[in-house]
């Protein structure tokens, strides 16, 4: 991340409500329409520049297999959580052929599970679930075709946002990034004649980790001597101060389901918000319950972005990183979190240098 942060990121505010403080981009149809118009203008402008200057065209495909695996894993986690909270007896729960299969002998238990899952998906087409009765208490749960298509569209849009931000951080400003079919992304870069320089930016996946901070000795002492077994010294992103952190991650990018810029509910200051998936929520709740009073570090690509102290068990699955951000800075941090959270990786399909149109 090359965009500088004006102030040191000083604190992490944890929120318990999953969606209360997270600002979801383009939340209304009107905003969608405005966004599409803006994208069309950018595409037209960049297309004109490509014709005059030439440049590079790059095509990626998102990891649909990774997406399907992520979606069905989240579904399994939601099912298990609902069953445990409702104290519903079940057996034989497995993931098979893109769905979750299990057996619930009690008919009321099956109805309760279906009702809870349907309620959770209400108003969210991307979370709609089909239920198949296999008889004798056996049921199969799977995302509907509409939900799968919506999730794929979300993944493409998330990937586009991540690509745009990382190119901006790398100083590439004149660019058009648009969907290419249902699972592709097309990038136009006027005047760029070395597409390999651009693809190299995305060849390395952003590493996101949440690690406990070791308090057994001052980090400066560990830095000048030998750090305790199972720890290492990492430097702060902005202040370059040393942090003694565990080498093993308590959570990582795969545990994040969403990240984006937003505004703090009280001060309206720009923040970077994130939300864990079901597995991440449970792991984070366990880690925070076991380590009250201890700091933990949020690490992006080997740099400590923040190291707040755990004040209480955090069970809601959401958090915010704040620190006197501008909105652009908050967006940059959020996109790095999102880049580490995207299922799988981008596959390079094509890269081509396009010559400028011949002058008449």
pLDDT tens digit sequence for 45-95: 776 676 677 888 999 999 898 889 888 988 998 899 889 989 999 999 999
Q: What is the pLDDT of residue 152?
A: 92
* CA distance to 132, 149, 162, 280, per residue, from 142 (Å): 9, 13, 28, 21
User: For residue range 109-143, what is the model confidence (pLDDT) as tens digits?
Assistant: 999 999 988 888 887 778 889 999 999 999 999 99
- Parse the chain into domains and list their residue ranges: 1-25+38-61+145-354, 65-143
Q: What is the pLDDT of residue 59?
A: 94
186 or 41: whose pLDDT is higher?
186
Q: Is the pLDDT of residue 24 over 80?
A: no
Q: What is the pLDDT of residue 97?
A: 93
Q: Do domains 1-25+38-61+145-354 and 65-143 have the same CATH topology?
A: no
Do 212 and 246 form a contact (C-beta atoms < 8 A)?
A: yes
Please state, in angstroms and rounded to a whole number, the distance separating the CA atoms of residues 212 and 200: 31
* Residue 302 burial (10 A CB sphere; 0-12, 13-18, 19+): exposed
User: For residue range 304-353, what is the model confidence (pLDDT) as tens digits?
Assistant: 888 888 888 888 888 877 666 778 778 877 877 877 766 667 899 999 89
Region 257-278: mean pLDDT is 83
Please state, in angstroms and rounded to a whole number, the distance separating the CA atoms of residues 229 and 208: 22
Nearest to 189 by CA among 201, 168, 172: 172
Angle at which helix 64-85 crosses helix 145-169, to 10 degrees, equals 120
Q: Which residues pair with 252 in a beta bridge?
A: 209
Q: What is the pLDDT of residue 343?
A: 63
Angle of CA points 94, 99, 102, to nearest 5°:
40
Gap between the terminal Cα atoms of the chain: 43
What is the pLDDT confidence band of residue 36, given thresholds at 50, 70 and 90? low
Do 15 and 319 form a contact (C-beta atoms < 8 A)?
A: yes
The most confident of 32-41, 100-109, 264-273, by mean pLDDT: 100-109
Q: Is the pLDDT of residue 299 over 70?
A: yes
Q: Is the pLDDT of residue 4 over 60?
A: no
Q: Is the pLDDT of residue 157 over 60?
A: yes
Do 10 and 323 form a contact (C-beta atoms < 8 A)?
A: yes
Angle of CA points 223, 229, 230, to nearest 5°:
95
Please state, in angstroms and rounded to a whole number, the distance separating the CA atoms of residues 111 and 106: 9
Q: Is the pLDDT of residue 262 over 60?
A: yes
Q: What are phi and psi of 332, to 5 degrees?
A: -65, -45
243 or 356: whose pLDDT is higher?
243
Overall fold of domain 1-25+38-61+145-354: Gyrase A; domain 2 (3.30.1360)
Q: What is the pLDDT of residue 33?
A: 66
Within 10 angstroms of residue 233's Cβ, the number of other Cβ atoms is: 15
When the candidates are 3.90.1070, 1.10.1060, 3.90.1280, 3.40.50, the CATH number that belongs to 65-143 is: 3.90.1070
Within 10 angstroms of residue 116's Cβ, the number of other Cβ atoms is: 18
Q: What is the pLDDT of residue 337?
A: 80
Q: What is the pLDDT of residue 2?
A: 38
Q: What is the pLDDT of residue 313?
A: 84
Q: Is the pLDDT of residue 27 over 50?
A: no
Q: Under DSSP, is residue 98 helix (H, G, I), strand (E, B) or coil?
A: coil
Q: Which range has the worst mean pLDDT, 28-37, 125-134, 280-289?
A: 28-37
User: For residue range 169-196, what is the model confidence (pLDDT) as tens digits?
Assistant: 888 888 889 999 999 999 998 888 889 9
């Amino acid at each position: 991340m090359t965009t500088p942060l004006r102030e040191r990121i000083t604190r992490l505010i944890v929120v318990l409500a999953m969606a209360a403080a997270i600002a979801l981009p383009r939340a209304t149809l009107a905003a969608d329409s405005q966004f599409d118009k803006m994208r069309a203008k950018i595409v037209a402008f960049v297309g004109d520049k490509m014709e005059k200057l030439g440049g590079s065209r790059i095509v990626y495909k998102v990891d649909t297999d990774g997406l399907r695996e992520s979606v069905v894993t989240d579904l399994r986690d939601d099912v298990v959580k609902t069953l445990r909270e409702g104290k519903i007896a079940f057996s034989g729960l497995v993931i098979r052929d893109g769905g979750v299969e299990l057996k619930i002998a009690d008919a009321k238990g099956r109805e309760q599970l279906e009702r809870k899952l349907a309620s959770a998906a209400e108003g969210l087409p991307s979370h709609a679930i089909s239920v198949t009765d296999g008889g004798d208490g056996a049921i199969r749960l799977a995302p509907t075709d509409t939900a799968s298509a919506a999730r794929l569209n979300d993944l493409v849009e998330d990937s586009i946002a991540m690509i745009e931000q990382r190119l901006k951080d790398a100083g590439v400003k004149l660019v058009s990034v648009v969907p290419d079919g249902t699972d592709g992304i097309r990038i136009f870069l006027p005047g760029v004649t070395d597409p390999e320089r651009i693809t190299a930016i995305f060849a390395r996946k952003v590493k996101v980790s949440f690690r406990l901070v070791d308090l057994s000795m001052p980090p400066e002492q560990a830095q000048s001597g030998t750090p305790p077994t199972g720890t290492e010294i990492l430097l702060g992103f902005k202040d370059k101060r040393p942090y003694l952190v565990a080498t093993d991650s308590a959570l990582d990018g795969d545990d994040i389901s969403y990240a984006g810029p937003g505004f703090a509910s009280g001060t309206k200051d720009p923040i970077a918000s994130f939300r864990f998936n079901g597995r991440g929520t449970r792991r984070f709740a366990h880690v925070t319950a076991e380590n009250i009073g201890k700091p933990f570090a949020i690490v992006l690509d080997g740099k400590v972005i923040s190291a707040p102290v755990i004040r209480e068990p955090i069970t809601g699955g959401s958090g915010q990183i704040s620190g006197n951000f501008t909105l652009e800075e908050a967006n940059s941090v959020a996109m790095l979190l999102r880049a580490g959270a995207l299922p799988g990786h981008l596959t390079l399909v094509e890269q081509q240098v396009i010559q400028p149109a011949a002058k008449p």
